[in-house]
Amino acid sequence: AQKVTQAQTEISVVEKEDVTLDCVYETRDTTYYLFWYKQPPSGELVFLIRRNSFDEQNEISGRYSWNFQKSTSSFNFTITASQVVDSAVYFCALSEVFSSGGGADGLTFGKGTHLIIQP
Amino acid sequence: DGGITQSPKYLFRKEGQNVTLSCEQNLNHDAMYWYRQDPGQGLRLIYYSQIVNDFQKGDIAEGYSVSREKKESFPLTVTSAQKNPTAFYLCASTQGADHPYEQYFGPGTRLTVT
């Protein structure tokens, strides 16, 4: 069965520091997708990125970057020059393709990392 | 604007009562999902539907029921059989049922049962 582990329950940094959120996953599928979501205090989950298992190229979007390494089953998320507005709970999630018969049967989420950016 | 709406935002019920949470989307998405979130926990899948008039149990379906009579709507009923119904409930949808596209989420309903 698939599993996502976010070992960091809470991280607190001072504004402008860089911070990395760890995500480790387990799956028996060779084809799968990984996701990151942001949950601000309002509660609604905001989609950040989707990455498939065949694309290990790192991605950068503004202050956000993602490092996908199949060798260590990790999909880490880095925020550069953090800002107070980045304070939220961040979730990593996994969707298998073949085991799920197509991949649209729901995501497996980690427990989330609560990121606190202090001014 | 396209999106997912959930109502109400806060819901209070007495123990032993069934309650139905609404979820509507105007994104023309095929698949819809219900998740439950408890404090300090990730989201857990309750039910999902990839097509109208069909739905599948997720990891924690006991005590819940759903229907999918229209593409736009996927209501969730929390029955009295659900032992710990107090939680934050999130509805999501995705464009296709044949591929793990990203899921888009509604604002959630916070249910409190006393």
- Are B48 and B95 in contact by the 8 Å Cβ rule? The answer is no
Residue B65's beta-bridge partner residues?
Answer: B77
% chain A with pLDDT above 90: 75
- Closest to A28 measured CA to CA, from A116, A108, A98: A98
Q: What is the pLDDT of residues B5-40, one digit of tens each?
A: 998 999 999 999 999 999 999 999 999 999 999 988
Most B CBs within 10 A among A39, A45, A111, hence the mutation to make, goes to: A45
- Closest to B45 measured CA to CA, from A54, A96, A29, A66: A96
Name the residue facing B99 among A37, A44, A103 (closest C-beta): A103
Q: What is the pLDDT of residues B63-103, one digit of tens each?
A: 999 999 999 999 999 998 899 999 999 999 998 766 667 89
pLDDT at A100: 58
| CB-CB neighbours of B68 under 10 Å | 20
Query: Which residue in chain A is spatially nearest to B41 when comparing CA positions?
Result: A111
% chain A with pLDDT above 70: 94
> Cα dist. B113→A32, A42, B44, B87 in Å?
37, 21, 19, 9
- Are B87 and B36 in contact by the 8 Å Cβ rule? The answer is yes
Query: Which residue in chain B is spatially nearest to A94 when comparing CA positions?
Result: B100
Give the Cα separation of B12 and A84 in Å (integer): 33
Give the Cα separation of A83 and A119 in Å (integer): 8
Query: Is A71 in a helix, a strand, or coil?
Result: helix
Least confident stretch, A60-64, B96-100, B105-109:
B96-100
- A25 confidence band (pLDDT: 50, 70, 90): very high
CB pairs under 8 A between A and B: 78
Tell me which chain B residues have a C-beta less than 8 angstroms from the C-beta of A111. Answer: 40-42
Alpha-carbon Rg for chain B in angstroms: 13
Q: Report, as an integer, the average pLDDT of A50-65.
A: 90
Tell me which chain A residues have a C-beta less than 8 angstroms from the C-beta of B98. Answer: 102-104
pLDDT at B1 over 70: no
pLDDT at A115: 98
**Residue A47 and residue B94: Cβ atoms within 8 Å?**
no
Residue showing tokens 């205090």: A41
Residue showing tokens 């993602």: A66
Closest CA of chain B from A14, distance in Å: 23
Most B CBs within 10 A among A53, A55, A109, hence the mutation to make, goes to: A109
